[in-house]
Amino acid sequence: MSRGMHIYLIGGVMFGAILFFAVIFMQVLGKSAKWQEKRIKEGTYRELEDLFIFVDFEKLTYVNFAAFLFVPVLVWIITSNPIFTTASVLLPIFAPKWIVARVRQKRLDQFISQFPDALMMLSSSLRAGSSLAVAMENLVNESKAPLSQEFAMLIRSQRLGASFEDAVRDMERRLPIQEFMLFSAGLRIAREVGGNLADMLESLAETLYTKMQTEGKIKSLTAQGKIQGVVMSGLPILLMLVLTQLQPVAMHPLFHSVTGWGVLTLIAAMEFMGYIGIRKITSIDV
């Protein structure tokens, strides 16, 4: 076989191998895209609707896919570090759920802070002779979001034909917090057994006020520990950046060698575990 035939044969084998791996890569990419699209639709998109944040699903999907493609490229252009580039691929996958979780927790905290006053308002309306339905309508008209949104959804569900128990159960799904669980349990007991609902709501409001005061004291006492956790976690990163500017030659192997990349991975893991450990110690549930 001539030399030219060898070259053509090797070129054909290489082309076939490249084509094979390209087909496999496209199949994996397609399955990953479908999995991510399903994950966004069943997770992020539904959770946004529960938070009364209405975003077009197609736009949300396109933004996520664009971030998945361009974020690693941008990180590579800035750092030229394969470790950081590989880690940035995970950012568009987990960032939407993390952002939604943060927004959800902030909204739940706002609801909890409004809830005791809402219970006192319901109790006063019931003592004045209003029915529970009228008391909740007055609460919706006089309250701010997110409390007004949630009770408005409860009233709307009943008007569309849902039973009171089903509407409250759906509200429990959107508000998986202990304070509302106590409220819904009290409503069920009052509807099934009877009793003074106004007294029950007032007693629950006083309990929640006491709980909020206790949590405020705990947050004040643990604030220093939380700040120390942030400072201690950020200090090594800040020192690394300063040394990179002051001694770029000495710090060059840390960012441009396999050993340095391994050290950076170990640093990131230890930083993460240390921060999580401090947060666990300073987070006290009441």
Triad 187, 188, 194: Cα angle to 5°: 80
Give, in order, the Cα–Cα distances in Å from 69 to each of 56, 72, 85, 93, 167. Answer: 20, 7, 11, 11, 42
pLDDT of residue 88: 75
**CA 121 – CA 204 distance, rounded (Å):** 12
- In this structure, CATH architecture of domain 107-213: Up-down Bundle (1.20)
pLDDT value at residue 148: 86
DSSP 157-214: HHHTT--HHHHHHHHHHH---HHHHHHHHHHHHHHHT---HHHHHHHHHHHHHHHHHH
User: In this structure, what are the phi and psi dihedrals at residue 112, rounded to the nearest 5 degrees?
Assistant: -60, -40
Exposure string over 160-195, b if 16+ CB within 10 A, otherwise e: eeeeeeebbeebeebbeeebbebbeebbeebeeeee
Rounded to whole angstroms, what are the CA distances from 230 to 94, 98, 170, 254, 276? 22, 19, 38, 24, 10
pLDDT per position in the chain (286 positions), as tens? 555 555 555 555 565 655 555 456 455 545 555 555 565 555 565 666 666 665 665 666 667 677 777 777 787 777 777 777 777 777 777 777 777 778 888 888 888 888 888 889 888 888 888 888 888 888 888 888 888 888 888 888 888 888 888 888 888 888 888 888 888 888 888 777 767 788 888 888 888 888 888 888 888 877 777 787 788 888 888 888 888 888 888 888 877 787 887 888 888 888 888 888 887 777 766 5
Q: Tokens for 197, please give them.
A: 């609902």
Provide the residue type at 230 as one letter.
V
Q: What are phi and psi of 161, to 5 degrees?
A: 115, -5
Q: What count of residues does the chain have? A: 286
* pLDDT at residue 25 in the model: 47
pLDDT of residue 43: 58
pTM given for the model: 0.67
Domain boundaries, the chain: 3-105, 107-213, 216-282
